[in-house]
Homo-oligomer: A and B are copies of this chain.
Amino acid sequence: MKSSAHETIKSKGYKLTHQRQLILSILEGSQTHLDAEALFLLAKRRDPKISLATVYRSLSTFKKIGLIQEQGFGEDHGHFETVSNKPHFHFTCSQCGQVTELRSKKIIRLIKELCQEEDLKMESMDLLIQGLCPVCQEKKSTSTTS
């Protein structure tokens, strides 16, 4: 029951390079949803020679073998998180951009049922909700209530 991610990489026929290990460990250790650039900057602190292209290639590989997932968040670039986390949804605040994770076993079950009814074989789901976080709701009502 050790580092199964490393096993997955090798079992899929990919080499366990130290760049891949580094990138993966950053993703696993991060609580936030990193984008490629942020990940690259963090990686460079431990390996100043690492290339942005390698970050993108690793992300692509990890995604292909199911170690990570990419999130859109309605921006012009992706964000990444490990798949180990239980399935969840994302809420992004349209004002401050903060990302909140939401969970609901019930909703997930209903989505699966919906797919079965339509004879669709689900491989992944992504629910993104946009709106105002509690803090920004407060700000807005304060400035409006003159």
Contacts and interface: CB of A to CB of B under 8 A. Distances in A.
Interface of A: 70, 72, 74, 89, 91, 94, 100, 102, 104, 106-107, 110-111, 114-115, 118-134, 137
Contacts of A122: 129-131
A132 B111 contact: no
A111 B91 CA distance: 11
Q: What is the total number of copies of this protein in its complex?
A: 2
Given A115-B131, A127-B126, A130-B125, A110 B106 contact: yes
Contact of A72 (B72, B127, B133): B72
Nearest 3 A/B pairs, CB to CB: A123-B131, A121-B132, A122-B131
A94 B118 CA distance: 16
Contacts of A133: 120
A125 to B, nearest CB: 5
A134 B120 contact: yes
A108 to B, nearest CB: 10
Contact of A120 (B104, B120, B131): B131
Contacts of A120: 91, 100, 129, 131-134
A81 to B, nearest CB: 15
